Amino acid sequence: MTAPIENQATRSHSRFDVDPPPRPQTPPAMDTLVRDLREAVRDCAVVSPWRGVTQVVVIGALCLGCVAIAWTFPIGWAFAGWSAIAAIFYVFWLMPTHEAIHHTLTGWVWFDETIARVIAWPILWASGTYAELHKLHHSWNGRRLDDPERTEWTQAEYDRAGRLTRWYVRHQWAIDVFGFGAIGLVLKTFRAGIYHGWFATKTRSRLRWQLAGDVAGMLILHTIILAWVIAHGALLQYALFWLIVERVVGVMTQCREHIEHYGLWNAASDGFSSQILTQLYTTRNLQTTPLVNWLMSGLPYHGVHHAFPEIPSDRLPIAFERLDAILRDRGQPPLVRDPGYWKTSFQLATQFSTIEIDQNKPA
The model's pLDDT over 270-290, given as tens digits with 9 standing for 90+, comes to: 455 688 999 999 999 999 999
Cα–Cα–Cα angle for 126, 127, 132, nearest 5°?
100
Q: Between β-strands 285-286 and 337-338, what pairing exists: parallel, antiparallel or unpaired?
A: parallel
- Angle at CA of residue 150, ends 362 and 322, nearest 5°: 100
pLDDT at 357 over 90: no
Q: What is the pLDDT of residue 360?
A: 43
User: For the chain, first and last CA: distance in Å?
Assistant: 24
Residues in contact with 332: Cβ distance below 8 Å, sequence separation at least 6, in sequence order: 33, 277
Whole-model pTM: value is 0.88
Mean pLDDT on 176-202: 95
More confidently predicted of 350 and 166: 166
The proportion of the chain whose per-residue pLDDT surpasses 90, expressed as a percent, equals 78
- What confidence tier does 352 reach under pLDDT thresholds 50, 70, 90? confident
Asked if 104 contacts 131 with a C-beta cutoff of 8 angstroms, the reply is no
pLDDT digits (tens, 9 = 90+) for 100-135: 999 999 999 999 999 999 999 999 999 999 999 999
Whether the pLDDT of residue 260 is over 90: the answer is yes
Per-residue confidence (pLDDT) for residue 272, from 0 to 100:
55
pLDDT at 202 over 50: yes
The whole-number average pLDDT for the span 196-214 is 93
Lowest mean pLDDT among 51-65, 93-107, 258-272, 297-311: 258-272
pLDDT at 78: 97
The mean-pLDDT minimum among 159-168, 240-249, 263-272, 292-301 falls in 263-272
Query: Average pLDDT, stretch 35-48?
Result: 95
- Phi first, then psi, for residue 338 (nearest 5°) are -105, 165
Identity at 354, one-letter amino acid code: T
Which pLDDT score, from 0 to 100, does residue 273 have?
Answer: 62
Which residue, 21, 43, 36, is CA-closest to 332? 36
pLDDT greater than 70 at residue 253 = yes
Average pLDDT of the chain, as a whole number: 89
pLDDT of residue 358: 67
Query: Given a cut of 50, is residue 163 above it in pLDDT?
Result: yes
Give me the pLDDT at residue 14, please: 32
CB 100 within 8 A of CB 112: yes
- Rounded to an integer, what distance in angstroms lies between the CA atom of residue 299 and that of residue 59? 16
Q: How confident is the model at residue 1 (pLDDT cuts 50, 70, 90)?
A: very low
Closest by alpha carbon to 151, among 361, 356, 355? Answer: 355
Tens digit of each residue's pLDDT (9 = 90 or more) over 69-110: 999 999 999 999 999 999 999 999 999 999 999 999 999 999
Among the ranges given (127-131, 220-224, 229-233, 348-352), the one the predictor scored with the smallest mean pLDDT? 348-352
